[in-house]
Structure 1
Amino acid sequence: MKKVLFATSALVLTAGVAAAEVAVSGDGRMGVIYDGDDAQFSSRARVKFTLTGESDAGLSFGGSFRVDQENYNANAYRSAARGTAGAVWISGTYGKLSMGDVVSASEAAIGDLYEIGYTEGQFANDIEEITYLTGDGANLDQGPSILYEYTVNNISLYASASDGVNTVWYTTPGTNAHGDDTGDTAYSLAAKYDGSTWWAALSYAKHGDASEIGLGAEGKFNNFAVKGVYMSYDDRFDGLDEWKYTAGLAASYQADAVLVKGFWRQDKFDLFGGGTEKYDSFGIGADYDLGGGAVLAGGIIDTDYLDDTVVDMGIKFSF
């Protein structure tokens, strides 16, 4: 992938000062989505800025955001300037600390199921993404979140939190909402063991009365990869229904330039009026690497959430 550097070694004024860089990259896509009723054209182009630097003492720092995350009129709730899109970070001997629209410790350790299609799951409302209790846009009413990561040998530790203060940051940063700035701090803890060709992780998260325990593992063997995720929830509600668990399994196979991927996911709810409901989702897709940052991709997803089967096919680009 080609990167264009606007500034290279911009801060090299003396031999004792390390370099700072601003790199510009991007992505795009074009294709067709079938939503169960109609086929529609769908395209997108985005530019991303990645800023990096290093202090005299060897402390690394940086940040990243996309241009579309600075369009207040399009989405006043997500802005890199307000800390609710993109992220900044600092790292050194004692780990890495990030702040902004960061993922939770749970998601940092476990992640999601495999993305499929040229829209990478967006054509089915990103059903492959695990709905974590905290982080990654889940606590925007409290502004930026923090994520701490530390790795020693094969073990990685993670911790994340919001600040527990409800603000109307999207209109007047620093003021409280409706005169009440008290909120529930959302936090998460996780640990991960990396065994080279496999890893396993355990996580815990809490926000108010709701809590979450997560398990995840992935193994890679030659051209095959398989991943499993299980999230158990307590006192977590989706409307009036109580969300009990999410279980998922994903697999992939790489054959030269072709990558085939698939996943299954199930969500269980205790219904407000009594009884239980299970929602199943299935997806399969393939990518063909054309080289130079271009990939031909397509996918099919059937999910009870949409009560339909949806399809996408197109080409995606990395710049």
Structure 2
Amino acid sequence: MKKVLFATSALVLSAGFASAEVAVSGDGRMGMIYDGNDVQFSSRARVKFTMTGESDAGLSFGGSFRVDQENYSANEYRSAARGTAGQVWISGTYGKLSMGDVVSASEAAIGDLYEIGYTEGAFAGDIEEISYLTGDGENLDQGANILYEYGIEGFTFFASATDGSDTNLGSISPGANVDDELNASSDDVAYSLAAKYEAGNYNVGLGYGKHGDADEIVLGGEVTYDQFSVKGIYAKYSDRFTGELDAEEFDSTIGLAAAYQADALLVKGFWRQDKFKYDVAGDEKFDSFGIGADYDLGGGATLAGGIIDSDYLDDTVADLGVKFKF
């Protein structure tokens, strides 16, 4: 993968900076998606800026955001300038602190199931992603999230939180006093704590998250042996209601994923099951399956495709195309 680096004298200043640079990278994809009824063309291209530096005292710092995330219009709140897209960070002897649209402590320790397809799961609504309570796109009505991580002797500890302040201007009534409604409107602080242990070819993680009355406990682990890798995740939720009329409560998720690498070919698959509780209908389970393959064409190009069948979808869906890294 080639990157264009801008590290000129305009970016390397003598006033408090030991070094600084800005890297421009990008990604793109083009192909076809089958939604169960029709085949549609699908493509996109994105540019990403990654800024890094180091202070005279040895502190590392940086930030990153994509061009498509920087929309600062009056009705758009997914913006790097507002802290709800991209992220900035600072790290040193006592760990790393990140702020912005960051993942939660639980997700940082455990992650998701394996992505498949050239759209990396997007063609099926990213069903491989575990539904964590906070972080990674959640709680953005409270502005930037914060994530702290510290590692020592194979262990990494994580903590994340929101500030509990509702900054969603879209919820303000027409003609109302903005300051009055912002000060009167407040959400519960969402937070998460987690730990991860890595040794050789395996890792295990445990996370806890809470937002209002809802909380989660998530356990996950991954093992890699030669060309094979296997990952398992179990998430248990409490008092997590979806707002449906019949009091739908999200109870738990269990998922397994496996991958096999053979030279340029990578084959991946996953299964997950979500359990819900209903006041009237009782318990109900939703299963999702997916399998896909990536073939490395070299130079940052990959041919990829996937098939996913889920109880959340009306039909089996698939995609096939080429994705690029620049």
TM-score, length of structure 2 as denominator length: 0.93
Distance in 2, Cα, partners of 1:176 & 1:201: 43
- The correspondence of residues 71-150 of structure 1 with structure 2, limited to 5 A, is 71-72=71-72, 76-150=76-150
Q: Distance in 1 between matches of 2:68 and 2:12?
A: 31
Structure 2, unmatched stretches of 5+, are 173-177
1:130-186 CA-partner distances (Å, limit 9, x unpaired) = 1100111110111101000000010000000000111235799x9574652322100
Question: 1:275–1:33: structure 2 CA closer, same or farther, 3 Å change rule?
Answer: same
1:13–1:98 CA distance, 2 compared to 1 (3 A)? closer
Aligned length: 318
> Any idea what the Cα deviations from partners look like across 1:177-197, whole Å, max 9, x if unmatched?
465232210000000000120
AA in 2 matched with 1:151: G
Contact 1:169/1:175 (CA < 8 Å) preserved in 2?
Answer: no
| Contact 1:82 1:169 survives alignment (8 Å) | no
Classify the secondary structure of the residue corresponding to 1:230: strand
Name the CA shift for 1:48/1:74 in 2 (closer, same or farther; >3 Å).
farther
Secondary structure of 1:266's counterpart equals: strand
| Secondary structure of 1:107 counterpart | helix
For the residue of structure 2 that corresponds to 1:308, the secondary structure is coil
What does residue 220 of structure 1 align with? Answer: 224
> Which of the residues 167, 192, 199 maps onto 2:196?
192
Matching residue's letter, 2:309: D
Describe the shift of the 1:97–1:246 C-alpha distance in structure 2 as closer, same or farther (beyond 3 A): same
User: Take 2:27 and 2:290, find their aligned partners in 1: how far apart are those partners?
Assistant: 23
**In percent, how many aligned pairs have the same letter?**
72
Alpha-carbon distance, 1:238 to partner: 1.8
Cα separation, partners in 2 of 1:62 and 1:30, compared to 1, 3 Å = same
Describe how 1:11-90 pairs up with structure 2 within 5 A: 11-13=11-13, 17-72=17-72, 76-90=76-90
Task: Encode CA deviations 1:83-119: one digit per residue, 9 max, x unaligned.
Answer: 0000000000000000000000000000000000000
What's the TM-score once normalised by structure 1's chain length? 0.95
SS at match of 2:32: strand
Counterpart for residue 182 of structure 1: 186
The AA in structure 1 aligned to 2:252 is: Y
- The answer to whether the Cα contact below 8 Å between 1:143 and 1:169 also exists between their aligned partners in 2 is no
AA aligned opposite 2:117: G
Residues in 1 aligned to 2:191 and 2:36: alpha-carbon distance in whole angstroms:
38
Report if aligned partners of 2:12, 2:21 keep a CA contact under 8 Å in 1: no
CA distance in 2, matches of 1:237, 1:74: 31
Alignment of 1:145-160 (within 5 A): 145-160=145-160
Q: What one-letter code is carried by the residue in structure 2 that aligns with 1:92?
A: G
**Contact 1:216-1:229 at 8 Å conserved across structures:** yes
State whether residues 118 and 296 of structure 1, in contact with CA within 8 Å, keep that contact through their aligned partners in structure 2. yes
Matches of 2:151 and 2:320, distance apart in 1: 39
Q: Closer, same or farther in 2 for the Cα pair 1:9/1:300, shift >3 Å?
A: farther
Q: Relative to 1, partners in 2 of residues 1:133 and 1:16: Cα closer, same or farther, differing over 3 Å?
A: closer
Q: Tell me, in whole angstroms, the C-alpha distance in 2 between the residues paired with 1:74 and 1:183.
A: 22
Name the CA shift for 1:176/1:115 in 2 (closer, same or farther; >3 Å).
Answer: farther
RMSD (Å), alpha carbons: 1.9
> Are 1:245 and 2:252 counterparts?
yes
Distance 2:88 2:240 in 1: 30
2:289 paired residue number: 282
Q: Following TM superposition, by how much is the alpha carbon of 1:10 offset from its aligned partner in structure 2, in angstroms? A: 4.7
Measure, in 1, the Cα distance between the counterparts of 2:67 and 2:188: 31
Which letter does structure 1 place at the counterpart of 2:167?
T
With 68-77 and 145-154 compared, the bigger mean Cα shift is at 68-77
Q: Which residue identity lines up with residue 51 of structure 2 in the other structure?
A: L
1:273 offset after TM fit, Å? 1.9
- Residue 11 of structure 1 and its aligned partner are, at CA, apart by 4.8
For structure 1, the 5+ residue unaligned runs are: none
- One-letter code aligned to 1:261: K
**Any conservation in 1 of the 2:32–2:321 contact (CA below 8 Å)?**
yes
User: What does residue range 244-283 of structure 1 map to in structure 2 within 5 Å?
Assistant: 244-283=251-290
Shift of 1:231: 0.3
Closer/same/farther in 2, CA of residues 30 and 220 from structure 1, 3 Å limit: same
Q: Is contact 1:9-1:20 (8 Å) kept?
A: no
- Judged with a 3 Å threshold, the aligned counterparts in structure 2 of structure 1 residues 169 and 92 are, in CA distance, closer, same or farther, namely farther
Partners of 1:169 and 1:250 lie apart in 2 by 40
Q: How many Å separate the matches in 1 of 2:129 and 2:121?
A: 8
> Residue 164 of structure 2 aligns to which amino acid in structure 1?
G
**Cα distance per residue 1:58-106 (max 9 Å; x no partner):** 1000000000001245971210000000000000000000000000000
